[in-house]
A and B are shown apart, each in its own frame.
Chain A
Amino acid sequence: MLDPQMANGTLVELKALVKHFPIRGGVFLKEVASVRAVDGVNLSIREGETLGLVGESGCGKTTIGRLILRLEEPTSGEIFFQGENILTYNKERMRNLRRQMQVIFQDPFSSLNPRKTVSHIVGEPLLVHGMKNRREREDRVLELLRVVGLRREHMRRYPHQFSGGQRQRICVARALALHPKLVVCDEAVSALDVSIQAQVINLLKDLQQEFGLTYLFISHDLAVVEHVSDRLAVMYLGKIAELADSVEIYQAPLHPYTQALLSASPIPDPTLKRDRIILKGDVPSPIDPPHGCRFHTRCLYAEDICSQQEPELKEVRKNHLAACHFAGSVGLH
């Protein structure tokens, strides 16, 4: 896939990753169909970068995050973390590896245990990984709270006493407790107000600099992703449609789907006129995705080959991959 020399700095690599959720029915709960949430994804995340992962809801971006964290077992494929296939890890080894990968969820109201104090919530990872001494733990919690901009008096409070932005800071503090290498931000700012979003994003960026974190930034909000990510992967129906540096994608998207997505995201300038690509219809069902190119049912430029042959994700320009038969030759240029 990617240039092998580049693989040196690779933190996470997904190879032909597949996750099908079975749908069971009938008397004996036989598998009658499956939702192909992730259907053959190759992707790598480099150390220290922010990889944005965008797509419509239901396209499998959250599932990818959960698979990397091994909260979900893939149907097939391989996941490498620092060069090791973590799918071969047993429970105990996986438990140890969890120090290195953490997650921040979308909904800061359900991701904090309502019955625990902030001190307990942020201290849980420490306790679980062997920091039994209470005093020591609280010192570290305090330090973490300072890092995310909360104060000492917040330690004894409960989640319902905080605002959404503060809660998300608590989540960030918890994620950082074990000095992880990778943080999966699953729509981490989508539930927040725009002004609070900016705060949290800036916090995440500062922390990345300070601790050398790698982010997988999952979002449906293109403006946010553009702001934070170094590289960007666009997903459609369980597959990667396009992958490149985010500046490059925003300036010259190759895949018609990406072009449509970008043209749909609003620009805060009422005088600016531009062509918009309006996609027709809904996303096809991931239970029975279209043959050939998955996007051909809604693509403006679809031709016969698109419904017959599935395009591979190939390097169209340097470091710019797209899965389209006509990548580079179609679009609004």
Chain B
Amino acid sequence: MASLSQRKKSARNPEDRHPFLDQLEQLWRNKTAVAGLLVITLFVLTAILAPFLSPHNPVEASLYDQIIPPIWEEGGTWKNILGTDDLGRDILSRLVYGARVSLVVALATVGIAVFFGSFLGAISGYYKGFLDNIIMRFMDILLAFPHILLAIVIMAYLGPGLTNAMIAIGIIYIPRFARIVRASVLEECEKDYVTASRSVGARDWRIIFVAILPNCLAPLIVQTSLGFASAILDAAALGFLGLGAQPPTPEWGAMIAMGRSHILRAWWVMTFPGIAILFAVLGFNLFGDGLRDALDPRLRD
């Protein structure tokens, strides 16, 4: 195995390899990142294949099957492997469909936040001065609120619902991306390649988005990955408070809220969604850290 890979390497000049391959290799060597990636892959696959994986309809209640324990507990059946909740809905099916909801929420919120955050951060870092002050003070205002409170305020304005929850969480995540991008843009602006681009006659948008922004990618990607994690958490929190996904949508946070009242006689109703959240968040966090190590060429060599 080792000799094979060595032969492969010597066949081509290692200098000629695209750095992307190096980065992949770097990522592959980081075992915790691989573990994170594995969890994420599982999560994404579950979300995509939900209709095929779930044994039951996640929203179908059955009055005869209320609060059935998981299979290994006394009274558990193969019909509902992880048991049922107080309305008799199959928990495994709800978890599987819940992955779908969480994935969509994570993608949408982080998408909103990355798009607006990096745009605002990049222009305020590049132009500095007055514009920078206006934008960053506004970001400070957003940051001054406890973020879940701010999300609730926005939800109060927009009304409850999953779409509005995504918008609300997206908005409250903008400042962290804006700050990170601004900081890196400020740093990159001092480098001569930016001056070189200017002296060549490149227009501002080209310098910002083509020359500088790719160099700010490493912290941005790490933050994105961590952002997925906290977006899932916050969406669950809003769901728990009844502001996010509305019943009967199988959303992990809402499931925990539902199971809360039965915790003493049916621990499984709220434990499994909790574990699902834990793993999804952990997966993104581990992968995010691994990505940072692999993506930043300055950390290598």
Contacts and interface: CB of A to CB of B under 8 A. Distances in A.
Contacts of A158: 19, 297
A330 to B, nearest CB: 40
Contact of A160 (B191, B193, B195, B301): B301
Nearest to A107: B192
B30 interface: no
Contacts of A67: none
A102 B200 contact: yes
Interface in B1-46: 13, 15-16, 18-19
Contacts of A115: 214-215, 217
Contacts of B195: 71, 103, 105, 111
Interface in A168-194: 171, 174, 178
A114 B297 contact: yes
Contact of A153 (B16, B193, B217): B16
Interface stretch (A91-99, A132-140, A215-223, A261-269): A91-99
A316 B112 CA distance: 68
A129 interface: yes
Contact count band on B: 20 to 34
Nearest to A186: B192
Interface in B176-214: 191-193, 195-203, 206, 211, 214
Contacts of B202: 124, 128
Nearest to B19: A158
B16 A111 contact: no
A160 B297 contact: yes
B215 A129 contact: no
Interface in A136-181: 153, 156-158, 160-161, 171, 174, 178
Contacts of B19: 158
Interface in A63-120: 69, 71, 94-96, 98-99, 101-103, 105-107, 110-116
A94 B211 CA distance: 20
A127 to B, nearest CB: 9
A328 interface: no
A96 to B, nearest CB: 7
Contacts of A171: 196
A96 B200 CA distance: 9
A128 B301 CA distance: 33
A111 B196 contact: yes
Given A115-B214, A156-B16, A157-B16, A105 B196 contact: yes
Interface string B261-290: 000000000000000000000000000000
A107 B196 CA distance: 12
A312 to B, nearest CB: 33
A96 B191 contact: no
B200 A98 contact: yes
A71 B191 CA distance: 14
B201 A99 contact: yes
A70 B219 CA distance: 32
Contact of A110 (B191, B198, B203): B191
A125 interface: yes
Contacts of A69: 199
Nearest to B216: A115
Nearest to B201: A98
By CB atoms of chain A within 10 A, which of B199, B206, B214, B215 has the most? Answer: B199
Top 9 A-B residue pairs of the complex, sorted by shortest distance between their CB atoms: A111-B192, A98-B201, A105-B192, A125-B200, A113-B193, A95-B201, A110-B191, A115-B214, A110-B192
Interface of B: 13, 15-16, 18-19, 191-193, 195-203, 206, 211, 214-215, 217, 297, 301
Given A69-B199, A110-B191, A115-B217, 5 more contacts: A102-B199, A102-B200, A114-B297, A124-B197, A128-B200
29 contacts: A69-B199, A71-B198, A71-B199, A94-B201, A95-B201, A95-B203, A98-B199, A101-B199, A103-B195, A105-B195, A111-B191, A111-B192, A111-B193, A111-B196, A112-B193, A113-B193, A114-B297, A115-B214, A115-B215, A125-B200, A128-B200, A128-B201, A128-B203, A128-B206, A129-B201, A158-B19, A160-B297, A171-B196, A174-B200
